[in-house]
Amino acid sequence: MNGYLSKIKDFSGKNTSRSLSVIAVSAFILFSVATQAVSASAGSASAIPQVSATPGHRSAVNVRNYNNKTQQINGASGSNSTAYYYNWSGYAATSNTPYLKVQSTFVQPKVTCPVPGAWTLFWVGFDGFTNGTVEQAGTAAQCSTGTNPQPVYYAWWEMYPTNNIQVMPITIRVGDTVQTSVTYTASNRQYAMNVTDLSYSSQRYTRVATCAYGLTCARQSAEWIVERPTVNGAYAPLANWSTMSVGADQAANTSTTDRRTRVVSPIMQPASAFNNTPINMVNYPYTGLNLAVVGSLNTSGTSSNFADTWQATQ
């Protein structure tokens, strides 16, 4: 790519195309496409605001980020190494050796709602950067759609494109320290997607799933991402988190085996140990407006961190 031509991509992941109206009447409906629940704490999803369906359509609302829509945009600002996406901001790391684990720790930011129906998603995961699958877990801030919109916070997991965003039965509060991780175990080919609220030890949830039949979950990339989904085929407005620090960013693509117990443990390294791409989020259609800007990747000891700053809604 030359210095004047930058990539703008719409990647992966966020597909809450589950029925949010169903959430409102059922505590939690966790779709079971090759999945198994491991642990859960009591929680309620009834507070999640519903998204209004387009007139003439079912109340089940499609909220999805579509994979691999790529456009070449002439004139996007930034260095040659920075990617520009319509829906992602953060860092993606690539490796020729498949990843085994990715994790991050952050303080759940307070989000304001510039307009009704705004969203912001915070997550870590594998894939989606160079292929069409994503294995991910994180938190969400979703704004209501009425007048004086207010955010609701919750945790979620997803195996894209097998299922949609699945709400986790734990409580997420503004100011809580949250750890998110996705771990792959080769012996059983399972992914463990975890969100732990470190401020409240009882608030943790892990979901185990396998890559669906016919798909290849290659684990070619690891990501630390702030994202906006699309609602009914259009990009959602971006809820305002101001500036957040995404810290303790680590990944592993090698492991060690205990000779006595035969337990295999990923060897965690800072995100900076891998080939990284910084990502800024831009508006769609692109007019030169940054929606979110990522800071430099800093490393201290065994982990990395970076700041991600909200700049505009849409």
> Which domains are seen in the chain, by residue range?
5-310 (2.60.120.700)
Asked if 33 and 15 count as a contact pair (C-beta separation under 8 A), the reply is no
In tens, the pLDDT along 145-167 reads 999 999 999 999 999 889 888 99
Residue 274 host element (H or E): none
State the pTM of this model: 0.80
In tens, the pLDDT along 261-287 reads 989 999 999 999 999 999 999 999 999
Residue 219 host element (H or E): none
Three-class secondary structure of residue 7 per DSSP: strand
Looking at per-residue pLDDT, the higher value among 25 and 272 belongs to: 272
Looking at per-residue pLDDT, the higher value among 44 and 138 belongs to: 138
Tell whether the model's pLDDT for residue 311 goes beyond 60: yes
Q: Any residues with CB less than 8 A from the CB of 201 and at least 6 apart, and which?
A: none
d(CA 134, CA 137): 10
